[in-house]
Amino acid sequence: MAAIFGGLDQDAYDRQYTDGYLMRRIISYFARYRGKLIAIALGFIGVAIFNALPPILVAEGVDQLDLEGGSDVIIVLVGALIVAAFLQYGSNWIRRYLMSVVIGNVIAQLRKDAFAAAVDRDLAFYDKQKSGKIVSRITSDTQEFGDVVLITSDVFAQLLQVFVLLAVLFTRSVSLTFILLLMLPLIVGAAMGFRALARVVTRQGARAMAMVNDTIQESVTGISVAKNFRKEKMIYGEFTEINYKSYRINMKRGFVLALIFPVLNILAGFAIAVILFVGAQYVVWGMVNVGSWFLFIQGVDRFWFPFINLSAVWSQFQQALSATERIFALIDAGNTVKQTDNRQPENLRGKVEIKDVTFAYEVDQPILQNFNLSIAEGEDVAFVGHTGAGKSTIAKLITRFYEFQAGDVLIDGQDIRTFDLPAFRSKLGIVPQQPFLFSGTVRDNIRYSRPNATDDEIREVAYSVGNGEWLEGLPEGLDTDVGERGAHLSMGQRQLVSLMRVLLEKPVIFILDEATASVDPFTEAQIQEALDLILKHSTSILIAHRLSTIRNADRIIVLKDGEIIEQGSHDQLMAGGGHYAELYNTYFRHQSLNYIENAKSMFDRAAGD
C-alpha cells in the first residue's frame, strides 16, 4: 500500500483517530441543530415513502387490471403516480434545503474552530509547519467534508426507501424476499473490502492537495523576489513537479474509486438474474401473481441501487473521515508553551530577570545554557552580536512565543508562566524586524494594537512624531490604503506605522528587533524620534542594527554563542577594545558622523589631487 501511494508524508501533528471517535465528534457538531434535524428526519421518511410508492402502485394496478380491467384503473393509477411524484419532490426539496443549511453551519463552525486553533498555535508550531498546508485543512478539507455529507444524506434517504419497500415485499412473498436478502452479504462484503483502501487513497489525495496549495501560496507570496532574480521558470517548474505528483496520486485514487461501481454492478446483476428466474418460476407454479412478480422485478433494482450507492459513497465517506481527521488533528495539536496559571498581570513596572534559562529550538542544539540577565525597570538595553548569537531568542522567550526547557523568567519577581498569556502580552509592545501591515488604511493599522482607540487618539499619536510630517508623503494621510502587506508604503513608512502601534499601546516593556534595511535621513530621524518617545516610558529590549539606537541605550549587552561576553556603555566597551569594538568597526562605524565627515574630506582631497 505504501509503495503504491507513497511520497506524501504526514505532518508531525497528524493523528489517526478511530471511525467511532470521529463519528462521535462529528455528531457533536450536528447535535446543536436538533430542531432542524428532526425536520430533516421527517423529510427522509417522506422521501422514502413517496419514492417507494411508484412500483407498489403499478403492481397494485396490474393486479386490479388482471381482476377487473377497465380504463378507470389506469386513470386512478396515473393520478396516484403524479401525486406521489409531487409529494416526493416537495419532501425532498425541504429535506435538501434544511440539510444544506445545517451542513453550511457545521462547516462554518469547523472552520472557526480550525482557524482559532491555528491562531492559538505557538511559533514553534509554525517553525515546522507550512502555512499553505494549514490553509488547505481550514478551507479544502472542511468543504470536502460538507460535500460528502450531503451526498451521504441522499443515500440514507434511499436506504429508508429500501425498508419501506422491504416491508411491502414481505407481504407479497416471504420466501422470495428472503432470497433477495441472501444476496445482501455480497454487496456489504464488497463495500467493506473497499473501505480500508479508500481511506488510504483519500488521505493521500488530501495531502497532495495541501502540497499544491502550499506551493501556490509560497510562490505568489514571494513573486517579487522570484522576479528580481528572474526565477519565474524555476517556480513554475517546482509547481509543475508538485502538481504532477498530485496528479499521479489522484489518478491512483481515481483508479481505486472507479473499481467500486463495476464490481458492485456485477454483483447486483447476478442478484437480479436470480430474482428474475426464481420469481418467474413462482408465477408459473402459482405461488405469486403477476403483479407481485412485477413488484419484485421493479423493487429489486430499487432495493439494490441504494446499497450500490452506499458502497460507493462509503468510499467517499472515508474521504470525509480523512478530511475531518486532518481538521481535528489541527484543532487538537498541542502547544509547547504551557502556562501554569492565568493570573492577571496587574501594575507591572517592567523589571525583567532571566535566571539559569536553558533553551533549544531543536533537541541537543541549545541556544542558551544557564543564561542569566537582569534588566532594571525603565532601563533601555541593546543587544548586539553576530547572527545566531541569541539576541532574538531572548526577546522571544520574554514574550512567551517559545517555551524554555529550564530556568525562570520573571517580570517584577513574578514567573511569566503564571500569567494569563493574552493579558500579559497586552503589556508588551513588539516591533518585529520585518514590519507587517494588514490590508486597510494607515489609521486601521495603527489602531490594530488598541481596537477601541478613538480617531483623536490615533491622530494625536501620529502627529506626536515630527508634527505629522511623515504623513505628508502619503496621498491621503491616515486614510491612505497601505495595500497587501503594506506594499504601497516604503520600508521606512512601514516601520513608522509599526512604532505608532506601540506608542498607542503604551507598553510596560518594549521589544524592538530593528530592521536592517536602510532608510532616507528624514525617515531615519522620524523613526528615532518615535523610538525616543517609546523608550521614555518603557523598559526596552532592543535588538539593535542602528548606531544611534545602540549609543542611546543605557546598557549594551554583547552576545556570542548564547553567552554574555561584554556589557556596558558604548564608550566603556570601545575603550575595552573587545568584541564590541570589533563589531563597531565592522558594522557600525560607517554610520557615525565622524566616519562620514572623514570619508568626505578624503574624497575631496583625492578629487583635488
What is the pLDDT, as a whole number, of residue 123?
80
What was the pLDDT predicted at 373? 92
CA angle in degrees (0–180, nearest 5) for 479-482-487: 160
Q: What is the pLDDT of residue 376?
A: 92
Instruction: Provide the pLDDT for residue 109.
Output: 92
pLDDT at residue 231, as a whole number? 65
Paired with 510 in beta bridges are 429, 540
Residue 337, phi-psi category: left (phi > 0), alpha (psi -120 to 50), beta (remainder): beta
Q: What is the mean pLDDT of residues 427-446?
A: 85
Q: Is pLDDT above 80 for 13?
A: no
Report the pLDDT value the prediction gives residue 407, as an integer from 0 to 100. Answer: 93
Nearest to 190 by CA among 265, 301, 272: 265
In this structure, is the dihedral angle defined by the CA atoms of residues 296, 299, 305 and 311, taken in order, positive or negative?
A: negative
pLDDT at 501 over 80: yes
In the chain the domains, ranked by start, together with CATH numbers, are 2-332 (1.20.1560.10), 352-606 (3.40.50.300)
Question: Residues of 329-349 as b/e, b for ≥16 C-beta within 10 angstroms?
Answer: bbbebeeebebeeeeebeebe
Question: Quick one: pLDDT at residue 7?
Answer: 45
Q: Which of the pair, 249 or 576, is modelled with greater confidence?
A: 576
Cβ proximity of 320 and 145 under 8 Å = yes
**Higher model confidence: residue 75 or residue 87?**
87
Using a cut of 0.95, tell me whether the model's pTM lies above it.
no
Instruction: Work out the number of other CB atoms within 10 angstroms of the CB of residue 476.
Output: 11
Please report the sign of the dihedral spanned by the C-alpha atoms of residue 362, residue 364, residue 367, residue 372: positive
CA separation for the pair 141, 133 (Å, rounded): 10
d(CA 374, CA 303): 78
CB 518 within 8 A of CB 548: no
How high does pLDDT run on average in the chain? 79
**Per-residue pLDDT tens for 122-165?**
887 877 777 777 888 888 888 888 887 877 777 777 777 777 77
Mean pLDDT of 326-349: 87
H or E stretch at 85: helix 71-120
Beta-carbon contacts of 88 under 8 Å, excluding residues fewer than 6 positions away, are 46, 47, 50, 51, 53
Antiparallel, parallel or unpaired: β 555-560 and 563-568: antiparallel
Write the pLDDT tens digit of every residue in 1-12: 443 344 455 666
Residue, of 554 and 604, whose pLDDT is higher? 554
User: How far apart are the C-alpha atoms of 24 and 35, rounded to whole Å?
Assistant: 19
Q: What is the pLDDT of residues 178-212, one digit of tens each?
A: 887 787 777 767 766 666 666 666 667 767 777 77
Residue showing cell 488521505 = 203
- Asked if residues 48 and 164 have their Cβ atoms less than 8 Å apart, the reply is yes
Residue 21's CB is within 10 A of a number of other CB atoms, namely 11
